[in-house]
A and B are shown apart, each in its own frame.
Chain A
């Protein structure tokens, strides 16, 4: 039987301890804000202003006009002018430029010949993102040959939904909610229980009438509240700094987060039943956090991953939660339409929690 008195006693103790732990308290606010600023400003898949150099062996008026137009795209910043394509290769190799532009001596003649490309782009293709961006340059219309060739009619036209300005933050922030909650919730619960064991408090507690369920629930409830506060903080900062919209219902977002927080706390409890020391608990947390960042669809489109990585990703609660937050915040999806993700989170929670409670009671022998 769960006693309300004992449950409240455990919660009150936990809050008192947390209140005195200045650093952990600071992390509750510091982690979300720090990560938001870092990810929101630093991660940008819409790359511009690549360092470039030009080797103009034509030297004609048309060539200069072409270079000026390239610069106007803002995709490249021309930093250097060199004489030969060999020099462009050298600059690429030492990393001073990402893009080299080579205009051959017969540039003017090539420009009016639809069979041959007028110029060459030498691209540091090791980074696929840069390669992709440089590819955009090949679609650049030539202002000077409008009379020479008819404008190519495109078979497909892209109409970007939900994020027409192509701002990375719009996609990153809803995902970041998942990453931040994964990290703080999992770590706080894992460490909270392991600390009691490490400092010997558990040996005393298991001789009192407090049950393992009371102890676990009492310890995690304060963190559920903290998780929901963090959610509010991230959404607010996302709106204020990055104009990330919440097109769906805020209530839906909170309900989805509640399911997700429960899954992470259950996972944290399970970690605490495996780890012997706080250091081990932290290591296991990082071990789970990394795939949560890389395989959840937070950084890379989920569909693009190999099949086995997708299976791994499906196991992680973060994957399902990021689908939920992006759906609710960006696409105005109703929670009911995405109930499959909620179900996945619930199944995960039940399995992790059962394993944790089972292991916890067994550990005394």
Chain B
């Protein structure tokens, strides 16, 4: 099996600079086919810019990418019928009805009359929009709009689906529902690239890349990433969490302290031998009583750990 058949997207040293701002910095990417691949990163980390380069909307300053076997930048006109794209902001016509929007998109992809009719019926059913088919898109709820946007993006059965923060405007139950649909699409063979800043969403991806300030700081399966943080995660249940946090974050050995309700999550590099003793000693010196446990890393810990590293490197260079 050649690399092109195995991967839907391959990017090498993909870079985009806007003036002096480097939005995406030498990004290498291998997105396997029929998988959900996540881009996790805060706002401004280069997620949208990368997606736009991959679908040919932006010309990379440097580097190359191959998307579905087509070189980007290159003949993106060939690529467009084979990809589906969902924008961050709702971008269908608010003054057209659900059905009219679907019909318009179907015509844009020049689906035949028969296929158009069949696909639209199918999608209205699958995406639970039957009751809204004569409703103006602008008057629908966030969840309904999002289902319509996804329905329009998959109308022409694209091989690759690019979703730019698709769930930023919907409630948790709609998000769960949305992800169930993504898994169903992936099962049917669609490759999905989705950007998000929600940890729970990133956790659902088959693979993910963590982006920070345009740089890929980690990639792998969520399980691998959680197993290889290079950090020991200590959960601290202290009597006064606020002062404990102040105290612990001043320790040179501690990489980060995050408060979650009454608990603190303390990240200590694995090179530190006895992390529990270290923390207990520090808290005792500060006259704070606490319960400490070593716990498994969550994806948020991974995120904190890798972005911390990136910041540390910046300070040293």
- A contacts, CB < 8 Å to B: 3, 5-6, 8-9, 12-13, 16-17, 20-21, 199-210, 364-365
Contact = CB atoms under 8 A, between A and B. Distances in A.
Interface in B75-132: 77, 80-81, 83, 85, 87, 89-96, 100, 103-105, 107-110
A273 to B, nearest CB: 17
Ranked 4 nearest A-B pairs via Cβ: A9-B107, A207-B85, A204-B91, A200-B91
B262 interface: no
Nearest to A214: B108
Contacts of B77: 209
Most chain-B Cβ atoms within 10 A of its Cβ — which of A12, A200, A207, A209? Answer: A207
B90 A200 contact: yes
B107 A5 contact: yes
Contacts of A20: 95
Which label, helix, strand, loop or mixed, suits the secondary structure of the A interface? helix
A208 B58 contact: no
Given A13-B93, A17-B93, A200-B89, A209 B81 contact: yes
Given A13-B93, A204-B91, A6 B110 contact: yes
A209 B80 contact: yes
Nearest to B107: A9
Most chain-A Cβ atoms within 10 A of its Cβ — which of B80, B85, B96, B108? Answer: B108
B55 interface: yes
Q: Size range of the interface on B?
A: 20 to 34
B57 interface: yes
Contact of A13 (B59, B81, B104, B152): B104
Contact of B96 (A13, A204, A206): A13
Interface string B33-58: 00000000000000000000001011
A206 B92 CA distance: 13
Contacts of B108: 6, 9, 205, 208-210
A201 B93 CA distance: 7
Given A13-B96, A17-B96, A209-B108, A364 B87 contact: no
Contacts of B152: 204
B240 to A, nearest CB: 48
Given A17-B93, A204-B92, A209 B109 contact: yes
Nearest to A6: B108
A245 B109 CA distance: 50
A211 to B, nearest CB: 8
Contact of B92 (A17, A201, A210, A365): A201
Given A3-B110, A9-B108, A207 B96 contact: no
A9 B104 contact: yes
A206 to B, nearest CB: 6
Nearest to A210: B108
10 contacts: A9-B104, A9-B107, A13-B100, A17-B96, A20-B95, A199-B91, A200-B87, A206-B57, A207-B80, A364-B58
